[in-house]
């Protein structure tokens, strides 16, 4: 909704003589500014009330002093009831006075029933639920969030202010600017402006490195904590060994995901990563968000489920709505089989959750890219995996020799060790059948051993740690073989 459309829609409500308009917003000042324009066009006074200052006129250059005997909710309603000049009355933060207050409710009802007074009551609060006696007289109005063009105007406006103050231009590039605009979507004008000011004021630059902090701040502003968690550290694909096919697949779709309106192609919906435990599925999910420069939200199926009927599905719907507000983002369903297993005996809750999820996946048109990870594909319903809901299923196999060399190099250098000091081919050959996480633990265990022995980490110490380790591919050989057999011909190999 553009600013002009927003103004016209609110103007239409006032013109329709609806006695009560309910606006739930944190942007009280912007709502009053809109109403001030409307009051001027209708030649009606705009009066505003709060419990601190009472009732005063606010549509004039210098707000008038508060009227006497209007400080309490009951007093101001009695004043409105007897007022003869048709006016718009803004009642701020009125929600606490509607609970178990029959005289307040009665006064609002009498004002609403009097069709001759021409008054409009506008309740503005962060959250307000009207009692049934008066809700039938009310209409809900939602404040528009800024679109891409308006967000770009905000950024340029704040950049000009900073430039005038510091006598130099704000530095950025077109790609980073576009990413910032996308990441700010879903925020109010005030919240978006505050984040923009925070980014620019630091060093007079808008850089790609600052985008994760924007996503984190946006998540906190939208108060999403609970079923959804924000993953603060998103890996880059440089930290993921192997997975060449997956990396190539994602690289081909990155531009379309970010600039979907420029292409005559359906935007990517998501993928599923199937594989052995410790094979790098979770790291790959994080790397998608890191590669694309967007927020990563993780859905915790453990906190999703509630013992009360219907609450679990409600939690899921709220989580999906939150993900849409955070768009563009990656939504990660970790170990999805634990949430919608076909073997669950939970009174049908898993089936209802599956239905809600499938409907959303089919109908969602926001840039929310789904990454599902699963260890046991046999427990998943077939309708979840069909094309159209997810774009592809990748099988994350055990890393091959080259990938194992790469994984050793990554984890050695991550711990300030020079990979050139080690025989990576020999270490990779010795770790045939090991997962990426098992190779990481070999490096960690080797460092503990070297510290204990007060020597420098070496090939021999790592080889000793390898000999002590029994990888899952050996301990759970039957399950590994069964999963690999299932994946053949059904999935794309990620490695």
CATH code, domain with 417: 1.10.8.60
- Compare 303 and 409 and report the one with higher pLDDT: 409
Closest CA to 179 of 208, 219, 213: 208
Domain count, the chain: 4
pLDDT in the model for residue 417: 93
Cβ–Cβ under 8 Å, residues 128 and 20 = no
| Residue appearing with tokens 């576009």 | 178
Q: What is the pLDDT of residues 255-271, one digit of tens each?
A: 899 888 788 788 899 99
pLDDT digits (tens, 9 = 90+) for 414-423: 899 999 999 9
In a domain, 230, yes or no: no
Counts of helices then strands in the chain (DSSP H, E): 20, 13
Domain boundary among 102, 126, 141: 141
Looking at the fold, whether 130 and 205 belong to one and the same domain comes out as no
pTM of this structure: 0.68
Q: Rounded distance, CA 115 to CA 343, Å?
A: 60
Q: What is the dihedral of CA 148, 150, 154, 156, to 10 degrees?
A: 80
Query: Is 489 within a domain?
Result: no
Residue 486 lies in a domain: no
pLDDT in tens, 39-91: 999 999 999 999 998 999 988 876 567 788 898 999 999 999 999 999 999 99
User: What pLDDT is recorded for position 172?
Assistant: 92
b/e for 389-419, b at 16 or more Cβ within 10 A? bbbbbbbbbbbeeebbbbbbbbbbeeeebee
Same domain, 351 and 411: no
Give the pair of three-digit tokens for residue 361.
Answer: 């996946």
Separation between Cα atoms, residue 326 and residue 230, nearest integer Å = 10
Task: Tell me: do 168 and 314 sit in the same domain.
Answer: no
Same domain, 255 and 174: no
Round to whole Å and give the CA distance between 57 and 176: 44
Distance CA 336, CA 380 (A): 8
> Quick one: 367 and 428 in the same domain?
no
Q: Note whether 355 and 267 are same-domain residues.
A: yes
Q: What would the pLDDT profile of 315-331 be if each residue is shown by its tens digit? A: 888 888 888 888 889 99
**Residue 179 resides in a domain:** yes
Whether 8 and 121 map to the same domain: the answer is yes
Residue 484 belongs to a domain: no
**Secondary structure letter of residue 48 according to DSSP:** E
Q: Which domain holds residue 101?
A: 3-141
* pLDDT tens readout for residues 14-27: 998 899 999 988 88
Residues 318, 454 share a domain: no
Residue 308, Cβ density class (10 Å: 0-12 exposed, 13-18 middle, ≥19 buried): exposed
Question: Mapping DSSP to helix (H, G, I), strand (E, B) and coil, where does residue 270 land?
Answer: strand
Mean pLDDT of all residues in 344-361: 80
Q: How far is CA 346 from CA 1, 341, 351, 359, 365, in A?
A: 42, 10, 9, 21, 31
Residue 495 lies in a domain: no
- The answer to the question of residue 493 being in a domain is no
Outline where DSSP puts E strands in 318-462: 329-333, 368-374, 392-396
The answer to whether residues 22 and 66 belong to one domain is yes
**483 belongs to a structural domain:** no
Do 276 and 361 reside in the same domain of the chain? Answer: yes
Whether residue 388 is found in the same domain as residue 422: no
Of 374, 396, 418, the one marking the end of a domain is 396
| Cis geometry, peptide bond prior to residue 361 (ω within 30 degrees of 0) | no
Q: Residue 124's domain is classified under what CATH number?
A: 3.40.50.300
Whether residue 420 sits in one domain with residue 387: no
Q: Give the tens place of pLDDT for each residue, 428-464.
A: 999 999 988 899 999 999 999 999 999 999 999 999 9
Lowest mean pLDDT of 190-199, 359-368, 372-381, name the range.
Answer: 372-381
Residue 309 above 60 pLDDT? Answer: no
Residue where a domain terminates, one of 91, 111, 141: 141
């Amino acid at each position: 909704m553009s600013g002009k459309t927003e103004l016209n829609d609110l103007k239409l409500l006032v013109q329709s003589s609806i006695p009560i308009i309910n606006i739930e917003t944190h942007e009280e000042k912007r709502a009053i500014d809109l109403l001030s324009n409307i009051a001027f066009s209708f030649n009606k006074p705009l009066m505003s009330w709060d419990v601190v200052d009472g009732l005063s006129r606010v549509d004039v250059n210098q707000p008038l002093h508060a009227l006497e005997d209007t400080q309490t909710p009951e007093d101001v309603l009695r004043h409105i009831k007897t007022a003869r000049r048709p006016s718009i009355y803004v009642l701020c933060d009125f929600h606490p006075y509607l609970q178990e207050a029959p005289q307040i409710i009665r006064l609002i009802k009498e004002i609403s029933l009097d069709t001759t007074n021409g008054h409009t009551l506008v309740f503005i609060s962060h959250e307000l639920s009207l009692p049934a006696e008066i809700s039938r007289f009310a209409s809900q109005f939602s404040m528009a969030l800024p679109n891409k063009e308006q967000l770009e105007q905000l950024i340029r406006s704040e950049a000009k202010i900073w430039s005038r103050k510091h006598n130099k231009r704000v530095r950025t590039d077109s790609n980073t600017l576009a990413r910032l605009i996308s990441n700010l979507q879903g925020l109010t004008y005030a919240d978006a402006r505050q984040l923009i000011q925070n980014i620019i004021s630091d060093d007079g630059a808008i850089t790609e490195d600052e985008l994760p902090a924007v996503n984190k701040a946006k998540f906190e502003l939208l108060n999403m904590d609970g079923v959804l968690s924000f993953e603060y550290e998103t890996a880059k694909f440089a930290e993921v060994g192997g997975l060449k096919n997956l990396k190539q697949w994602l690289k081909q779709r990155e531009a379309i995901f970010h600039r979907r309106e420029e292409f005559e192609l359906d935007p990517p919906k998501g993928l599923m990563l199937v594989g052995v435990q410790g094979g790098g599925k979770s790291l790959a999910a994080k790397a998608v968000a890191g590669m694309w420069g967007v927020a990563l939200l993780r859905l915790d199926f453990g906190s999703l489920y509630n013992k009360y009927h219907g609450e679990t599905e409600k939690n899921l719907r709220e989580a999906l709505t939150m993900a849409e507000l955070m768009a563009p983002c990656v939504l990660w369903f970790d170990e999805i089989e634990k949430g919608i297993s076909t073997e669950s005996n939970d009174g049908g809750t898993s089936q209802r959750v599956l239905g809600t999820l499938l409907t959303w996946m089919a109908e969602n048109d926001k840039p929310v890219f789904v990454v599902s990870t699963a260890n046991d594909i046999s427990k998943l319903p077939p309708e979840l995996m069909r094309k159209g809901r997810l774009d592809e299923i990748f099988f994350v196999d055990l890393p091959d020799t080259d990938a194992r060399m790469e994984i050793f190099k990554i984890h050695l250098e991550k711990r300030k060790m020079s990979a050139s000091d080690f025989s990576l081919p020999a270490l990779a050959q010795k770790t045939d059948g090991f997962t990426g996480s098992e190779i990481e633990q070999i490096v960690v265990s080797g460092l503990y051993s070297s510290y204990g022995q007060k020597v420098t980490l070496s090939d021999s110490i790592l080889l000793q740690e390898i000999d002590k380790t029994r990888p899952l591919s050996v301990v759970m050989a039957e399950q590994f073989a069964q999963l690999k057999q299932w994946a053949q011909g059904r999935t794309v190999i990620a490695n």
